[in-house]
Amino acid sequence: MMSTLRGPRARTSSRLAAVLVAASLLAVAGCGSSDEPETTADGTAGAGGGDKAIDLVGFAVIQAAYDDLATGFAATDAGKGTSVKGSFGASGAQSRAVIAGQDADLVALSLTPDVTNIVEAGLVDPTWADDEHHGIVSDSVVVLAVRKGNPKGIQGWDDIVKPGVGIVTADPGTSGSAKWNLLGAYSQALGENDDTAAAEAYLGKFVENVVSWNDSGRTATDAFVKGTGDVLISYENEAIAARAAGVELDYVVPETTFLIENPAAVTTTASQAAKDFLEYVRSDEGQQILVAHGFRSVSGVAPTGDVEGANDPANPFPDVDIITVEDLGGWSAVNDELFDKENGLVTKLRG
């Protein structure tokens, strides 16, 4: 059920998330989930003062990357005279804000279901994901962030469910993107034989070891950096961003982990400039900017230089065996089986 992700990206499935704002990271407010309870507006992304304004509504983690993407786009013929006005915050809250009437030409969110909700409201075309990458513009993988020097000797998933290891994570009950954490834990335990009993047993041990469930990834990181727990379930791009910004932590990329896929789509009222900007994000130049911010490219674009903050800046994206949402039957099945508020496995395990 798993495939091997080599280098920056290899989009295969057996069954078919960048630098955050440095000030936020250093204040232990960054490096977090894209799905906090409240939406926050974070000003302008990229070049300002243009006569063609694009309203971008995005999840918090991608702000720094989209600042650079907007600047790069403004330097192209298609982007000349264009400015990008960015509102960044929790992915689910951002999705709801667009549905409620917030101006948006382009949405860049954490989870495909957050875009799907906008489609169902009639504000994004149903064919938005018909391109070769199914609407996904950036990737990452689930990683294990540990104390500097890794004093617990954590090397993989088996180590974090040992007695005495405290896990810090965002709460999937309040943070949609925190679902990536639990999906990473659950899916790797399924093994090649899809052993659901083994996966349920593993997830039970995982839940028992959680010492801090947090409303968002940001508050989870806050708790971890302030001394709670031994391991923070995080995302590769965020761990890279945190280290690049000076946060004292290390991270482990498990040999088998979960692929995080971040979508973007133009709205039905989008200008041509917004459509051109999305094409720029998908282009090799745009993907290179995302790679420099710690994301894995959806098209396999490799870094042109060192990626600051990575374990190995010259080789920042190690080969891993990946499991995808599609491997588990898609978001509808995953939400029903694991995250249903009454009958989901995670709900039952937490009591």
Highest mean pLDDT among 151-155, 301-305, 338-342: 151-155
Higher-pLDDT residue of 273, 17: 273
What would the mean pLDDT of 95-109 be, rounded to a whole number? Answer: 97
Check residue 75 and give its pLDDT: 97
Check residue 51 and give its pLDDT: 64
Check residue 252 and give its pLDDT: 98
CB 37, CB 174: distance < 8 Å: yes
What pLDDT, in 10s, does the model give residues 8-64?
A: 443 333 322 333 333 344 443 333 334 444 434 454 444 445 568 999 999 888 888
Could you give the CA distance from residue 243 to residue 218 in angstroms, rounded to a whole number? 15
Q: What element of type H or E holds 98?
A: helix 91-99
**33-267-96-43 Cα dihedral, nearest 10 degrees:** 60
What would the mean pLDDT of 83-97 be, rounded to a whole number? Answer: 90
Domains of the chain: 17-138+261-303 (3.40.190.10), 140-258+324-350 (3.40.190.10)
Task: Report DSSP letters for 160-174, one per residue.
Answer: HTSTTPPEEEE-TTT
| The pLDDT of residue 313 is above 90 | yes
Check residue 45 and give its pLDDT: 46
Check residue 222 and give its pLDDT: 82
Check residue 219 and give its pLDDT: 79
Give the least confident one: 125-134, 169-178, 321-330.
Answer: 169-178
Going by C-alpha positions, the residue among 278, 334, 270 that lies closest to residue 113 is 334
Confidence of residue 89 (pLDDT cuts 50, 70, 90): confident
What pLDDT, in 10s, does the model give residues 181-225?
A: 999 999 999 998 899 999 999 999 999 999 999 877 777 888 898
Check residue 3 and give its pLDDT: 59
Higher-pLDDT residue of 93, 136: 136
Check residue 39 and give its pLDDT: 38
Chain CA centroid to CA 173, Å: 17
What would the mean pLDDT of 319-346 be, rounded to a whole number? Answer: 95
Helix (H, G, I), strand (E, B) or coil at 71: helix
Give the least confident one: 11-15, 45-49, 108-112, 237-241.
Answer: 11-15
**Count of H helices and E strands in the chain?**
13, 11
Looking at every residue in the chain, the average pLDDT score rounds to: 87
Confidence of residue 1 (pLDDT cuts 50, 70, 90): low
DSSP designation for 207: H
What pLDDT, in 10s, does the model give residues 135-184?
A: 999 999 999 999 999 999 999 999 999 999 999 998 887 776 688 899 99
DSSP designation for 4: E
